[in-house]
Amino acid sequence: MRPRLRRGGIMPGRVVIGIGNVLQGDDGVGVHAVRRLRGRLPGDVELVEGGVWGLDLLPFLEGREKAVFIDAVDAGEEPGAVFRFSPREVRRTPSGPPISLHDLGLYELIGAAQLLDQCPEDIIVIAVQVKEIATGEGLSEEVEAALPVVCRLVEEELEGGD
């Protein structure tokens, strides 16, 4: 893929997108993780607080070599459990965990990007098992405790690409 130009220079080749609603407790874990990663990643990585933007995230995928999504998941595991997978791995499991807790899941976003030929070849999802989705800001203790693990996994995914 060719790098895309943007105001002020070349679009970074890699993107980390935090998904979730910070007003719904643990659902906002992806956005909280992106905030923690600010200043810790190489210069060729763009951090995006994707919130609940859904298909509005498509422009952030176009022209990228790699995308890492961070999201909440309810796979019936212990709260704070961290998963790392590619979208292909989840598709192979018919009864696998949902890839997202949002109405428009990552499957739909990634599928749309593929249809529009805007999808990076290398996509990784890092998901955290929620304890509870409830109105209110902040994460449960279990999900908050998982943030260092999530950040380390993201850093490991992006090593050597500066």
Specify the fold of 5-158: Rossmann fold (3.40.50)
CA dist 26 → 53, 119, 160 (Å)? 17, 27, 31
Kindly give the confidence (pLDDT) of every residue in the chain, 162 residues in length, as a single tens digit, with 9 standing for 90 and above. 334 444 445 667 999 999 999 999 999 999 999 999 999 999 889 999 998 877 788 888 888 999 999 999 988 999 999 999 887 775 544 444 444 544 556 667 777 766 777 777 788 989 999 998 889 899 999 999 999 999 999 999 998 554
Per-residue pLDDT, 2:
37
Instruction: State how far the Cα of 110 lies from the Cα of 94, in Å rounded to an integer.
Output: 18
